[in-house]
Structure 1
Amino acid sequence: MDNNLTDRSFWKAFWESRIGLIFNIKRDYIFGDMLGKIKAKKGYQTAIELGGFPGYYTIYLKKYENMDTTLFDYFVHQGLVNELLEVNGLKETDIDIIEADLFSYQPETQYDMVLSFGLIEHFKDTKAIIATHLPFLKDNGTLFITLPNFKSINGWVQRKFDLENYNKHYIESMNPALLASYCKELGLKDVESYYHGKFSMWLENKGTQSALAKAFVKSLWFTGKVFTKIFPFESKALSPYIVLKATK
């Protein structure tokens, strides 16, 4: 597929440049409670995280929900995965890993939960990238996708201070109603699509920013946090994420 906004060299450089990649994943890790509730309600036992290197949710679900989990990505740095497993009290054999191209790989196994976090927005054909998740999903299994909301204040910050990273994202995909319509067209049911989170923002290249830029972003972050303490609601303008859930 030639409409992707990134390639393997991009991800290799991206992950090898990251600081703070290895840490102990806590029980309250973002989206973890939502995944735990789905697992408990449905009695699921297996999950695969697509485009998930270094495998935070693969490890989270193994560590806290004792699920059989698989990490799938186009680029996997085994050494970093092993470090992350060790810090979280797990062994290399506790999870499965598949390193392959999502658009050409033919899955041999289907899973109760198919997950991706920050994957689909890197492709221009949003419906097609969602469709690649479905061959991995069992009947009555749950699709769980999240992506950043760059149509928010956070997106303005990205565009203003990290245009290179902003341009690696297909902004038009960040539309809950559109995402829901694609899932329905693909034959999925029980579709939910909504903004998630009161307010947050981040910069991937924070370390290279000037002191003035850092101070401005910090003040904007603080203002947003205060505002959402007073008016705690999720919205297009403020919420940092979009969540998409559906059943096959």
Structure 2
Amino acid sequence: MKEPNKLTTQKYWETYYSKNHANKKHIVNVCSYYDPFWDQLISQNSKGKSIIEIGGFPGRYLAYLSSKFGLVPTCLDFNSDESQIKNSFEIMEVDRFNILQEDFTKYQPKQQYDYVISNGFIEHFDDFNTILDLHTQYLKPGGSMLVMIPNKRYLRKIYGYLCDYNNLKAHNLKSMKLSVFKKYAKRNDLKIKTHQYYGGFPFSVHQKQNAFQKVISKTTRLVFKKINPYLMKNPSKYLSASIIAIFEKPINVE
């Protein structure tokens, strides 16, 4: 298999997450936003079951889910700083966990897991379909997987060009279609539980701005603070922040 071309580097992610995210209030606020989907992914009687996150640094989603559902987490990420992951688990009072400091594109999994999550990962590769297919080998028959990616097409693409270009160019916008996940499920004999757009318009940026950009971003923020409550109830492919898909692997699929 040809090695997938990455749109980001290890240095990019170590810089991106250089600040410590191990704060309980922050973790809960960020992760509980997706509770409707976590509750679809994970059954209430899952205590002691296994979960892995692909590209899991800094560990906040794993720590939150493991605390909420009593899961045993594994974080797979090539980031060289394990301290933030460990701190996330400690703050959420998770004392059983594993960290795999590996390159996902090269690593051969030693086991399969009851639950697999992948958040903001596949869109950083040219061949995102190959990356998606590699996810399947981590999932047990009868298990469930959630893949979440940002939606940077349509209006967010224009906004990105104007105010957040460095971040925009690190993403493969071709991955940001519901059809990508339909085709993935079909290729790998998976059942789709849900795949949809979710959230309000994301007006945050990841770079310093000039005066012109500040005017655009401030205006956008003011407009969508009023519109986003509507978008939370009525997601739109043109405006909503994310695409979220949940899959199940039938028992008879190896």
TM interval, short-chain normalised: 0.7 to 0.9
Identity of aligned residues (%): 26
- What secondary structure is seen at the aligned counterpart in 2 of 1:140? strand
Q: Cα 1:57–1:161, aligned 2, differ >3 Å: closer, same or farther? A: same
Cα pair 1:199 1:240 within 8 Å, conserved: yes
Rounded to whole Å, the distance in 1 between the matches of 2:34 and 2:80 is 22
Alignment correspondent of 1:160: 162
TM-score, normalised with respect to structure 2: 0.86
The question of 1:135 aligning with 2:133 is answered no
Alignment correspondent of 2:239: 238
Gaps spanning 5+ residues in structure 2: where? 250-254
For residue 23 of structure 1, report the CA deviation from its aligned partner. 1.8
Cα pair 2:152 2:173 within 8 Å, conserved: yes
- What secondary structure is seen at the aligned counterpart in 2 of 1:6? coil
Rounded to whole Å, the distance in 2 between the matches of 1:2 and 1:38 is 28
Alignment correspondent of 1:201: 203
TM-score, normalised with respect to structure 1: 0.87
CA displacement, residues 91-134 of structure 1 (integer Å, 9 cap, x when unaligned):
6x432111111122111121111100000000111210111111
The question of 1:31 aligning with 2:1 is answered no
Rounded to whole Å, the distance in 1 between the matches of 2:228 and 2:61 is 27
Worse-superposed segment, 146-155 or 114-123: 146-155
The question of 1:186 aligning with 2:216 is answered no
- What secondary structure is seen at the aligned counterpart in 2 of 1:124? coil
Rounded to whole Å, the distance in 2 between the matches of 1:152 and 1:225 is 19
The alignment's C-alpha RMSD in Å is 2.2
The question of 1:60 aligning with 2:51 is answered no
- What secondary structure is seen at the aligned counterpart in 2 of 1:132? helix
Alignment correspondent of 2:172: 170
- What secondary structure is seen at the aligned counterpart in 1 of 2:200? coil
Partner amino acid, structure 2, of 1:98: L
Rounded to whole Å, the distance in 2 between the matches of 1:158 and 1:9 is 22
For residue 73 of structure 1, report the CA deviation from its aligned partner. 0.6
Alignment correspondent of 1:99: 101
The question of 1:218 aligning with 2:218 is answered yes
Q: Cα 1:105–1:95, aligned 2, differ >3 Å: closer, same or farther? A: same
Partner amino acid, structure 1, of 2:144: T
Rounded to whole Å, the distance in 2 between the matches of 1:147 and 1:218 is 25
The question of 1:73 aligning with 2:96 is answered no
Gaps spanning 5+ residues in structure 1: where? none
For residue 41 of structure 1, report the CA deviation from its aligned partner. 5.8
Rounded to whole Å, the distance in 1 between the matches of 2:92 and 2:183 is 41
